[in-house]
Chains A and B, each alone.
Chain A
Amino acid sequence: MVQYHHRGCHRQGNHETVGENKEKRPKFFINDHVDILIEILKRLDCRSLCVAASVCRLWCTIARNDSLWENLCFRHVSPPPTSVRSVVLALGGYKRLYMGCVRPVRSRLGRARRASWARDEVQLSLSLFCVDYYERLGGSNSNGRVVGESSPSSLMFLCKPVNV
C-alpha cells in the first residue's frame, strides 16, 4: 500500500489519463510479493510445481529453489533432523532426491502404502540416493572392460515402467 501511495505522489506531473489508470491497475500483483509466492509454491505438489516453473522467470527461479523440494520430500513426515540437509545437499540436492528417488518410490508403493511408512519411504529413498551418488563417482576403472557402454545405474530399476 505504501508503494501505491508513492506512485500516487510521483504522478503529479503526469498525463491526465493516469487518474483513469489508477482504477484499472490491479491492486495486487503476486510477483511483487515474493514471500507470499514462496509460501504458496511451497504447498504445491510436484506436478503443479513443475507447471509453475514455466510461468515466468521469477517463478522459475523460485521453483528451482531446493527448499521447496525439501518440503515436498518431507511433506507427510515429521521434520527431519537438520543434519539431513547438509548430507542431501552434498549428494546432489533435494530436487534430485525427489525426482530420482522419492517420487518413484512413492508412486511404486502406491496402493500398498501406509501412512506410518512415510518416514521409511524417505529413508529408503535416501539410501538409494546415496548409492546412486556413489555409482556416479565411479571412474573408468570401475567399469573395466565395459567401454563405451553407459555405466550401470542402480536406480535404473526405478526408471523402468512398471508392469503393475
Chain B
Amino acid sequence: MKRDHRDITGATDYSSGSGSRADSSSIGNSIKAKLWEEDRDAGGMDELLAVLGYRVRSSDMADVAQKLEMLEMVMGTAQEDGISHLSSDTVHYNPSDLSGWVQSMLTELNGPPTPNLDPVLADSDFNSSNPQHRQRNQSRVFHDDSEYDLRAIPGVAAYPPPKSDPDSDSTRKRVKTSMSSSGPDGDGSGSSFSSPQENGIPGTVTESSTRPVVLVDSQETGVQLVHTLMACAEAVQQDNLKLADALVKHVGLLAASQTGAMRKVATYFAEALARRIYRIFPQDSLDPSYTDILQMHFYETCPYLKFAHFTANQAILEAFATASRVHVIDFGLKQGMQWPALMQALALRPGGPPAFRLTGIGPPQLDNTDALQQVGWKLAQLADTIGIEFEFRGFVANSLADLEAEMLEIRPPEVEVLAVNSVFELHRLLARPGGFEKVISSIKAMKPKILTVVEQEANHNGPVFLDRFTEALHYYSSLFDSLEGSGVAPPSQDLAMSELYLGRQICNVVACEGMDRVERHEPLTQWRSRMETAGFSAVHLGSNAYKQASMLLALFAGGNGYRVDEYNGCLMLGWHTRPLIATSAWRLATTESG
C-alpha cells in the first residue's frame, strides 16, 4: 500500500513539471536529515514516506491517498493543455507536506470545493453546470447535453441535489444496501461521516481495505453502484436509451472501484444492460459442450448442484424401494454427474441392485459428436465396475416439448418403475407458450412413480422488466457472495468458470426477450401451483435427504453460510437468509401408493 503511494506521488510529480520536483528534493533532503535526528515516532509522521522526504501524518494517510487518487483521476481525464497551468502558473509551496500540497493542487484544478459535490465525477465526466470550470478552460469529456439528466439517479450518486451538508449526510446514512458489499463490513460507516472530508469521493480501496476510514467509501460506492444500476434499469424500462447508455458507462466506472463479488456482479449486470441497450443479443445457442464445461466447474466450486443431485437421488431411491427393474429419464443429462451416486446406492441396496435403465436427453451438439453416447458409455463402465445391470439410451432434442412419451419406450409400471428427473430444465419451457403444459402432459402419459424437480428459487419471470432486474440483482449477488465465501482460492480457474456460467444466466435474464429468454426462474410456490394444477401431488423429501444435504454442506468451506431449510416437504438450499435453489418431488395424484 505504501508503495502505491510512492508510485502515485512519483507520477504526479513528473506530470506537474520539473519545477516542483527540484523543490521537493532539496527541501526533502533537509527534512530528511531532521527526521532522522528526531525520534522514530516524530509527531506521528509516516516513516517510510519520511525516508523519501515527504511528511505525512500516519493519521492522514488515507485522506492523502484519496486526494492523490482524485488528482490522478482528474489529470488522467483532462485533455491536452488542461493541466499545463499546473507546471507554468501555479506556485507550489512545501511539496513535502503531501497533504497540503495535494490539497492545493486539487484546489487549482477544481476551484474551491463545494460540500457534497463529487468533484471527480462532476468535473471530469459530467461537467454540467459548474461555471468555474468553464472559466478555467478545462476540457470536458461530455458535452453538456440536457438529455444526460443525471438527476434521474436517486440519492446522491452522480448529481447530488444542492442540499445542505447534514441533509445529504443523513440521507447517505439512512441508505441501506440490501446487497452485501464486498470486503469487510462497513461498520464504521456511521461514525466516519463526521470526518472532515469535503471531497467525499469514493476512492479505490483495494490497497487500503484494512483501514476503517476508507471502508466507508467502498460501501458508499457500493450503494451508488446499486442505485445507478437500478436507475439504468428504470431508464431501459422507460425506453429512455440515451440516459440508460450514460448510466451504464457510469456503472462501469463505479464497478471498477469495487472489489470481490460486488464488482463481478455489477460488471455482469452492466454488460447485460449494455447488450439490451445496444441490442447486441448474446447467442444462447452456443456450443452446448462449452456450457457443460462451465457447469462442471460450477459443480466443483459450490454445493448447489451437488445438493440438487443428492436430494433428488434420495427421493428417487426411496421411490424405487424394492423394485427389481428401474428406469430413470433425465431431462438434462449433461455430463451425467448425478447418476454415479444413485448407481452406487442402488448397488449397495439391501437385497441387491435392480436392473438400471437410463434415458438421457440433451441438446444437439454443434460438431455432431454424440455427447450423450459418450456419457452413456462412461456410465456403463461404472455400472460394470460396481456390478449393476445397465442400459442407456440417449435422445437429442432441441426442446423438451419436442418429445413424446411413445418415443421413450416406457415399459408398463408392473415391469419397470419409472422416475423422471429435471434439474434446472423446466423453467426453460416457459419461454414457449404451451411448452410446459405439453411436457407435463407427456410426463403424465409416462406414468412415473416420482418426478423430481430442482429449480432456482427466484422470480425472474415477472412481466415487468424492472422487477425482474431487481430480483435478479439480489439473487445473483447472493450467489456470487457464496462463491466468494467458499474459500476456493487456488483453483481460480474453477471460480472464474463458475462465475462465467452464472454470468451467462445473468445476460439471458436481463438482455434477452421472448423465446430467447430461457432463464425464466420461478419460485417454488409458483411451481407448486403449476404442478398441482397439472394433477401432481407433492412427495415429502424425508429426513434422510435432509441429513445428507446438511452433511454435504458442512463439508464445504463456506459451510457456515449455507443453509438447508425444509418447506412443506421440499428442501431449499440458501446462502444465509436467502434461499437459492429448491428441490421438490411429485407423484401423480391419481395413482395408488405403492
Contacts and interface: CB of A to CB of B under 8 A. Distances in A.
B86 interface: no
A112 B381 CA distance: 37
A137 B378 contact: yes
A8 interface: no
A144 B378 CA distance: 15
Nearest to B301: A157
Interface string A151-164: 01110111010110
A158 B352 contact: no
B405 interface: no
Contact of A163 (B348, B491, B557): B557
B469 interface: no
A58 interface: no
A10 B448 CA distance: 79
Contacts of B379: 134
Q: What band does the interface of chain A fall in when counting residues whose beta carbon is under 8 Å from B?
A: 35 or more
Interface in B452-497: 487-491, 493-494
A121 to B, nearest CB: 7
Given A83-B352, A108-B554, A158-B555, A130 B369 contact: no
B381 A137 contact: yes
Nearest to A87: B386
A34 interface: no
Nearest to A83: B348
Given A133-B382, A142-B374, A149-B493, A112 B554 contact: yes
B558 to A, nearest CB: 8
Interface in A103-147: 104-105, 108-109, 112, 117, 120-121, 123-124, 126-131, 133-134, 137-139, 141-146
Contacts of B144: none
A109 B555 CA distance: 7
A143 B547 contact: no
B387 A90 contact: yes
Interface in A76-117: 81, 83-84, 86-87, 90-91, 104-105, 108-109, 112, 117
Given A124-B548, A157-B555, A87 B347 contact: yes
A130 B378 contact: no
26 contacts: A90-B386, A91-B386, A105-B551, A109-B554, A117-B547, A120-B547, A126-B344, A127-B341, A127-B344, A129-B344, A131-B340, A134-B378, A137-B378, A141-B374, A142-B375, A142-B378, A144-B290, A144-B293, A145-B289, A152-B296, A154-B300, A154-B337, A157-B301, A157-B556, A160-B490, A160-B557
Given A108-B559, A120-B548, A146-B293, 4 more contacts: A127-B310, A134-B379, A153-B300, A160-B487
Interface of A: 81, 83-84, 86-87, 90-91, 104-105, 108-109, 112, 117, 120-121, 123-124, 126-131, 133-134, 137-139, 141-146, 149, 152-154, 156-158, 160, 162-163
